C-alpha cells in the first residue's frame, strides 16, 4: 500500500489529512467538499471510498449505501509442538489461520453480532471469543492447536455490505452523475485494491470500464434486489 501511495504521489496525487464534513451539490452534480479544517475542495469528480464510513458520506447527498461496520477480531498464538509448514487455511465456517513469524495468526468472523463499532474487545461479546469460539475451530483443523498460548488479540471493522457481502463499484446516486463509490469490500478489499483502483479511474475518467467489465458489481443490483454474493469467501 505504501508503494502504491508513493507512486501516486510521484504522479502528482496530493494526499490531504482532513475530514469531509459536507458535500455541496448543484442540480445534477456534487460541486464541493467541505472539510473539517474549514477548507473546501472543488472538483469535477468525487469518489466516496470511505470504507466503513461510506454511509455517512452518502447521507450528505441524501443517498444510501448498505454498508455497515462489523467488528472482526484477530489473534496471535504460539504452539509448543512442531508443525509442518502451513499455507493460509480457510474453511467454510469462516475460520482462517496462517503462519506469522514464530507463531500463527487467525480468527473467525462472527455473524451473530449487530453491525456497529466496537472499540473495546476486552469486554462484552469478544471478551472470551478466542476461548469460546475460535480455539475449537482451529484445533479441529490442526489438532496440535489444542495446546497453544494465545499472546494477543486485536480488532478492526469490516465495511460489510449488508446486502450481499460483495463490493459496490460505480455511481450510486440518481441525482449526482459525478459521484462514484468503491465500497462494501466486506473483509476482502486489500486483495482487490489494485484492480478496483484501475476500474474506478476508468469509470470516472473514461466514462466506462476499459480493462474488465465490472458493471455486475454496480449499485444497480441493489436497486434491482439482485444479490451477487461471493460464494468462496465470507
Ligand atoms: C480484521 C480485518 C482483517 C482483514 N483481512 C483482510 C485480508 O486478509 N485480505 C483482504 O483483502 N482484506 C482484508 N480486510 C479488509 C480490508 O482491510 C478492507 O477491505 C480495505 O481496507 C478496504 O479499503 P477501503 O479503501 O475501501 O477502506 P479503508 O481502508 O477503510 O479506507 C477508508 C478511508 O476513508 C477515510 N475516511 C472515512 N471517513 C472520511 C471522511 N469523512 N473524510 C475523509 N476521509 C474519510 C478513512 O480515514 C480511511 O482512511 C480485513 C479487514 C479487517 C478489519
For residue 19 the three cell numbers come to: 475530514
How many angstroms is it from 178 CA to the middle of ligand 1?
A: 23
CA atoms within 13 A on the CB side of 103: 13
**ipTM higher than threshold 0.95:** yes
Q: Is the dihedral of CA 213, 233, 55, 193 positive or negative?
A: negative
pLDDT in tens, 148-169: 999 999 999 999 999 999 999 9
pLDDT in tens, 54-97: 999 999 999 999 999 999 999 999 999 999 999 999 988 889 99
Separation between Cα atoms, residue 167 and residue 182, nearest integer Å: 7
- Domains of the chain with bracketed CATH: 2-66+164-223 (3.50.50.60), 68-161 (3.30.9.10)
The residue whose CB lies within 8 Å of the most ligand 1 atoms, and thus the one to mutate among 50, 59, 100, 200, is 50
Q: Could you give the dihedral angle defined by the CA atoms of residues 56, 58, 62 and 64, in that order, rounded to the nearest 10 degrees?
A: -100
Amino acid at each position: 500500500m505504501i508503494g502504491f501511495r508513493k507512486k501516486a504521489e510521484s504522479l502528482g496525487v496530493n494526499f490531504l489529512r482532513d475530514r469531509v464534513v459536507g458535500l455541496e451539490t448543484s442540480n445534477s452534480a456534487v460541486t464541493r467538499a467541505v472539510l473539517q479544517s474549514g477548507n473546501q475542495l472543488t472538483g469535477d469528480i468525487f469518489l466516496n471510498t470511505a470504507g466503513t464510513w461510506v454511509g455517512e458520506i452518502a447521507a450528505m447527498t441524501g443517498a444510501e449505501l448498505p454498508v455497515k461496520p462489523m467488528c472482526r477480531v484477530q489473534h496471535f498464538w504460539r504452539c509448543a509442538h512442531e508443525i509442518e509448514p502451513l499455507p493460509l487455511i480457510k474453511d467454510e465456517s469462516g475460520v482462517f489461520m496462517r503462519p506469522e513469524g514464530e507463531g500463527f495468526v487467525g480468527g473467525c468472523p462472527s455473524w451473530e453480532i449487530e453491525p456497529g463499532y466496537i472499540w473495546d474487545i476486552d469486554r462484552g461479546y469478544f471478551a472470551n471469543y478466542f476461548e469460546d469460539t475460535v480455539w475449537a475451530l482451529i484445533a479441529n483443523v490442526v489438532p496440535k492447536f489444542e495446546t497453544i498460548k494465545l499472546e494477543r488479540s486485536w480488532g478492526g471493522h469490516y465495511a460489510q455490505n449488508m446486502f450481499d457481502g460483495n463490493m459496490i463499484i460505480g455511481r450510486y446516486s440518481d441525482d449526482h452523475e459525478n459521484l462514484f463509490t468503491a465500497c462494501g469490500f466486506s473483509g476482502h478489499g486489500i486483495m482487490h485494491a489494485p484492480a478496483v483502483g484501475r476500474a474506478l479511474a476508468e469509470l470516472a475518467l473514461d466514462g466506462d470500464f476499459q480493462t474488465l467489465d465490472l458493471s455486475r458489481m454496480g449499485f444497480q443490483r441493489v436497486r434491482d434486489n439482485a444479490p451477487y454474493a461471493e460464494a468462496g469467501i465470507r
